Amino acid sequence: METSNTSVLTVEMNPNLELFAVIYILAFNGSDPFIMVPPDYIRDVLTYFGPYRNSEIVRYVQGVFNSSLPFYTRDDAMMALSTRLAKLNYLGNITNDTALGLDLGLFSEFARESNFEAFYRAHLKDYERPISNLSKILSRAPQWYWRLFGKRYTRFRVEASYSLRIHPHSVGENGTVYYIGFIPRDMDPSKAYGLALVVLHEFAHPFVEDFLKENFQLFKNMSYYLNEIRSELPFTTSYDLEHYGTFYNYLNELFTESMAEYIGLKCGIPEDYVTLQRLSMSVPLFPLSKFFEEYGHMEKSGMKVSEYAPIFARHMAEWATPENVSALYWEVTPVTWVHERDSILSNGKVVIVYGTSGSEKALAEFLEQIPQRGYLQGYGQAPSIVLKEVDELTPDDMKANLILIGTPETNELVERLNDRLPVKFLFNGSWTLRRSNDSVGMFFAFKITNESVISLLLNAPVPSQWGLIETIKNPWGNNTYITVIAGRDKSLIMQALQKTGYESYTLVGKKYLEIGFYMETGGVNTQNT
């Protein structure tokens, strides 16, 4: 790392990573969760490289990434291999296979024998299309790392795959910081903002690593922040030791993500989009919003991050103590489906309560199967999933994690909870919805389109045809949650289920998508009516 502010940024679909992707597509005949290109591209691969599908490197990839292995094992192996590939010159031009080692030598041999370069060049327009939006957003990033840290890398390189969902990660060495991951083909402006924030996160890691090596002592006595999120998300934090295993690792992620969002604003990413990102990431990273705010104070002071570190540490100690850190958590962290999912896995049980409509019972039976497969695939274990009508519930059931299907008309529990719901049901000839902050602290709503993210007022119109999923804390249980699922028809409910992620609620309509966040307590509502 140097102390000049001139850096070069490059963004490319890395030919070595795409070579790996082609071999991977051959190895699994175009069908695998990590493959993310459309059928016509897969057909091109299988046709062009068909004569080489029995090559030694194809069999090697089939073994290393065997589909019987857990998803995370394959993910880790893909990250390790992609790191090696991304830093090398194009393998097809390297004739000394012995110097590469056995596996990379096989890649090199395959590239030459199949004339991979001709295939790559024939698809350059496919690769270049999603790159352009991302390059424009990132162009100002290097100067901001310099301004905030006073140090630089000479080169910032985005080395991506077009075909494989490679877990985004970074490497900083020899004056170069790498983003290694993927760039999806359908890079509309909204998705470009999202990926840019991911890249900015990975670029920030080497800077933050150097910062923490020098300054961690200032923060080491505040591990109660990590203890709090371990308490609120016990399953997630025990499962993900890379991020939650030590306070150092956790603090690293907090600084890195908040820095990425701050630089994202400076690169022209709209404020509404950055706010949405911060609310989403506040669930796994507490107290992210406080870290983000601190950079504004730091910039006004004219200090670099290293100079501001003692002030930052003092402020962090003032935000909360071990005794009241839980209150801060629920003031700045939204209640989301992620909390219920974690609680379901931690407690080992969820009760799905369906309403009086026959279609609601059918949906409950469908939902019973989906989590079982998802939990088993993702975590290697599945909770007990119990289906019941309201009048079958026991006192213990009421304290458990609940998924309620139906409206106040068909589901008695939804009717009882309606006043507590941030998105309430209203009847005016038919069931409609109304956003309300009566029972929560801060409330944020966003309309999502391919082009933008738009902040909504609480009284903004709601679609007449809708599907809704929203999560609240269970008033009858301790550290359990309730998720309400309802809609005007099954297709809209299914759309909402497909869109649900880190938000507090998901609301879909015909060609309409809205997501929202609400904190349990505290704050002045920024979404006025």
- Show the 3-state SS of 432-486: EEEECCCCCCCEEEEEECCCCEEECCCCCCCCCCCEEEEEEECCCCCCCEEEEEE
> Quick one: average pLDDT of 40-55?
96
| pLDDT score, position 528 | 46
> Taken in order 345, 351, 355, 359, is the CA torsion positive or negative?
positive
Per the structure block, which two tokens stand in for 471? 């999560």
> For residue 520, how far is the Cα from the chain centroid?
22
Residue the block writes with tokens 């991951």: 181
Whether 296 contacts 259, CB under 8 Å: no
Tell how strand 155-161 and strand 176-182 pair up: parallel
* Rama region for 380: left / alpha / beta (φ>0; ψ in -120 to 50; rest): left
Q: For residues 248 and 239, give the distance between their C-alpha atoms in angstroms, rounded to a whole number.
A: 17
Q: DSSP for 281-343, please give it.
A: HTTTSTTHHHHHHHHHHHHHHT--HHHHHHHHHHHHHHH--TTTHHHHHHHHSB--HHHHHHH
- Maximum average pLDDT range among 46-50, 238-242, 492-496: 46-50
User: Does the structure show a pLDDT above 80 at 91?
Assistant: yes
Q: For all residues of the chain together, what is the average pLDDT? A: 91
- The DSSP element (H or E) to which 164 belongs, if any, is none
pLDDT band at 486 (very low <50, low <70, confident <90, very high): very high
pTM of the model: 0.89
| pLDDT score, position 292 | 96
User: Does the structure show a pLDDT above 60 at 516?
Assistant: yes
Residue predicted with more confidence, 529 or 235: 235
> Quick one: average pLDDT of 209-234?
96
Amino acid at 230: R
Rounded (10°) angle between helices 305-319 and 141-149: 80
How is the beta sheet containing 169-173 ordered, strand by strand? 8-13, 155-161, 176-182, 169-173
Residue 211's contacts (CB-CB under 8 Å, 6 or more residues apart) are 149, 255, 305, 306, 309
Percent of the chain scoring above 90 in pLDDT: 75
Whether 175 contacts 30, CB under 8 Å: no
Residue 263's contacts (CB-CB under 8 Å, 6 or more residues apart) are 141, 144, 145, 148, 200, 204
Residue the block writes with tokens 């002030």: 311
pLDDT tens digits along 333-372: 999 999 999 999 999 999 999 998 888 998 898 888 765 5
Per the structure block, which two tokens stand in for 7? 């850096």
Q: How many residues does the chain have?
A: 529
- Calculate the alpha carbon distances from 168 to 1, 118, 523 in Å: 22, 27, 34
Whether 239 contacts 172, CB under 8 Å: no
Q: For residues 246 and 237, give the distance between their C-alpha atoms in angstroms, rounded to a whole number.
A: 10
Which residues on adjacent β-strands are paired with residue 387? 352
pLDDT tens digits along 257-302: 999 999 999 999 999 999 999 999 999 999 999 999 999 999 999 9
Q: For residues 328 and 225, give the distance between their C-alpha atoms in angstroms, rounded to a whole number.
A: 10
Per the structure block, which two tokens stand in for 334? 């939204």
